[in-house]
Chains A and B, each alone.
Chain A
Amino acid sequence: MTDATYEIESIASENPHAGWIKLTMGLGGVVFLLMMIFGLIMRAGQGGIIDLDPVIFYQLLTAHGAGMVGSAALSGAAILWYFVARHVTLSIKIYIIFLGLFLAGVVFILGSIFIGGYGGAWTFLFPLPAISGGAWEAGAAVAFCVGYLLIGVGFLLYYLEMAYNISKSFGGLFGGLGWKFIVNGDSKTAPPPTIIAASSVIVFNSIGIVFGAIVLGASIINLLIPSFAVNALLAKNAIYFFGHVFINATIYMAVTAVYELIPEYTGKPWKTTRLFAIAWAAVVVFVQIVYFHHLLQDVNMPAWALATGQIISYASGVPLIAVTVFSTALYIKGSGMKWDLATKLLVLGVGGWGIGVIPAMIDGMVSVNKLMHNTQWVPGHFHTYLLLGEVAMAFGFAAWLGRDKSSQDQSGLDRFAFQAYLAGGFGFVLMFFWSGASSIPRRWAVHYDEWQLQSQIATVFAAVVILATTLFVLRYVEIHFDERNTPMVHLETDEIVGIEVLSSGEKQLFIILGEALLQEERPVVFISDEPELSLHVSWQAALFEHIRSLNGSCQIISATHSPDIVGSFQDRVIKIEQCIRDVH
Chain B
Amino acid sequence: MQTTILIVSLILMAVVGVAYARAVYATDGPPAGPGANKARSALLWGMIVFGVILSVGTLREGVYDVAGPAPMVVNVSGGQWWWEVDTYEIPLGQEVEFRVTTEDVSHGMGIYTPGMTLVAQVQAMPGYTNKLVHTFDAPGTYQILCMEFCGIAHHDMVNEFNVLEAAE
Contact (Cβ within 8 A) A439 B2: yes
Contact (Cβ within 8 A) A334 B30: yes
Q: A307-B63, A326-B40, A359-B9 are in contact. Are A55 and B152 (CB under 8 A)?
A: yes
Over the window 219-237 of chain A, the binary record of Cβ atoms lying under 8 Å from chain B Cβ atoms (1 yes, 0 no) is 0000000000001110010
Over the window 294-306 of chain A, the binary record of Cβ atoms lying under 8 Å from chain B Cβ atoms (1 yes, 0 no) is 0011111001001
Contact (Cβ within 8 A) B51 A318: yes
Q: Is the interface of B mostly helix, strand, loop or mixed?
A: mixed
Partner of A358, one of B13, B40, B116: B13
Chain B residues within 8 Å of A351, by CB: 17, 20-21, 24
Chain A residue at minimal CB-CB distance from B158: A448
Chain A residues within 8 Å of B55, by CB: 307, 310-311, 314
Contact (Cβ within 8 A) B3 A437: yes
Chain A residues within 8 Å of B1, by CB: 371
Task: Known pairs A332-B24, A437-B6; list 10 more (Cβ under 8 Å).
Answer: A58-B152, A233-B125, A297-B123, A310-B58, A321-B47, A322-B47, A329-B24, A333-B31, A366-B59, A368-B5
Would you give 15 A-B contacts (Cβ < 8 Å), ordered by A? A128-B151, A132-B151, A232-B127, A236-B106, A297-B130, A299-B64, A307-B63, A310-B59, A317-B47, A326-B40, A332-B23, A337-B27, A433-B10, A441-B145, A443-B154
Q: A135-B151, A299-B130, A335-B31 are in contact. Are A314 and B54 (CB under 8 A)?
A: yes
Chain B residues within 8 Å of A569, by CB: none
Q: How far is the CA of A492 from the CA of B40 in the complex (A)?
A: 43
Chain A residues within 8 Å of B85, by CB: none
Decide yes or no whether A339 CB sits under 8 A from chain B. Answer: yes
Q: How far is the CA of A231 from the CA of B155 in the complex (A)?
A: 26
Decide yes or no whether B150 CB sits under 8 A from chain A. Answer: yes
Q: How far is the CA of A318 from the CA of B8 in the complex (A)?
A: 18
Over the window 47-59 of chain B, the binary record of Cβ atoms lying under 8 Å from chain A Cβ atoms (1 yes, 0 no) is 1100100110011
Partner of A347, one of B8, B24, B58, B156: B24
Decide yes or no whether B137 CB sits under 8 A from chain A. Answer: no
Decide yes or no whether B81 CB sits under 8 A from chain A. Answer: yes
Partner of A335, one of B8, B27, B81, B150: B27
Q: A232-B126, A300-B125, A351-B21 are in contact. Are A362 and B9 (CB under 8 A)?
A: yes
Contact (Cβ within 8 A) B118 A375: yes
Decide yes or no whether B138 CB sits under 8 A from chain A. Answer: no
Partner of B150, one of A128, A325, A329, A438: A128
Partner of B152, one of A54, A365, A436: A54
Chain A residues within 8 Å of B149, by CB: 58, 61, 121, 123, 125, 128, 443
What is the total of A-B residue contacts with beta carbons within 8 Å? 221
Q: How far is the CA of A317 from the CA of B149 in the complex (A)?
A: 28
Decide yes or no whether A87 CB sits under 8 A from chain B. Answer: no
Q: How far is the CA of A232 from the CA of B156 in the complex (A)?
A: 23
Decide yes or no whether B70 CB sits under 8 A from chain A. Answer: no
Chain A residues within 8 Å of B9, by CB: 358-359, 362, 433
Contact (Cβ within 8 A) B51 A354: no
Decide yes or no whether A423 CB sits under 8 A from chain B. Answer: no
Chain B residue at minimal CB-CB distance from A339: B27
Chain B residue at minimal CB-CB distance from A303: B63
Chain B residues within 8 Å of A337, by CB: 27
Contact (Cβ within 8 A) B5 A371: yes
Q: How far is the CA of A375 from the CA of B110 in the complex (A)?
A: 10
Decide yes or no whether A571 CB sits under 8 A from chain B. Answer: no
Chain A residues packing against B (C-beta within 8 Å): 54-55, 58, 61, 119-121, 123, 125, 127-128, 131-133, 135, 231-233, 236, 296-300, 303, 306-307, 310-311, 314-315, 317-318, 321-323, 325-330, 332-337, 339, 347, 350-351, 354-355, 358-359, 362, 365-368, 370-375, 433-434, 436-439, 441, 443-446, 448, 450
Q: How far is the CA of A371 from the CA of B17 in the complex (A)?
A: 25
Contact (Cβ within 8 A) B31 A236: no
Chain A residues within 8 Å of B131, by CB: 299
Contact (Cβ within 8 A) A441 B23: no
Decide yes or no whether B105 CB sits under 8 A from chain A. Answer: yes
Decide yes or no whether B166 CB sits under 8 A from chain A. Answer: no
Q: A299-B64, A337-B27 are in contact. Are A326 and B59 (CB under 8 A)?
A: no
Q: Which 8 A-B pairs have the closest CB atoms?
A: A334-B31, A329-B23, A437-B6, A439-B118, A322-B44, A306-B63, A374-B147, A443-B149
Q: How far is the CA of A441 from the CA of B145 in the complex (A)?
A: 8
Decide yes or no whether B148 CB sits under 8 A from chain A. Answer: yes
Q: A330-B36, A355-B13, A371-B118 are in contact. Are A128 and B152 (CB under 8 A)?
A: no
Q: How far is the CA of A359 from the CA of B2 in the complex (A)?
A: 12
Contact (Cβ within 8 A) B112 A322: no
Contact (Cβ within 8 A) A367 B47: no
Contact (Cβ within 8 A) B130 A298: yes
Q: How far is the CA of A370 from the CA of B147 in the complex (A)?
A: 11
Partner of A373, one of B121, B145, B151: B121
Contact (Cβ within 8 A) B116 A439: yes
Q: A232-B106, A370-B120 are in contact. Are A329 and B20 (CB under 8 A)?
A: yes
Chain A residues within 8 Å of B8, by CB: 362
Contact (Cβ within 8 A) B48 A318: yes
Decide yes or no whether B128 CB sits under 8 A from chain A. Answer: yes
Chain A residues within 8 Å of B13, by CB: 355, 358-359
Chain A residue at minimal CB-CB distance from B46: A322
Contact (Cβ within 8 A) B130 A318: no
Q: How far is the CA of A61 from the CA of B155 in the complex (A)?
A: 14
Contact (Cβ within 8 A) B59 A307: yes
CB distance from B99 to the nearest CB of A (A): 11
Chain A residues within 8 Å of B121, by CB: 297, 370-371, 373-374
Q: In the complex, which residues 88-143 of chain B have their Cβ closer than 8 Å to any Cβ of chain A?
A: 104-106, 108, 110, 112, 116-123, 125-128, 130-132
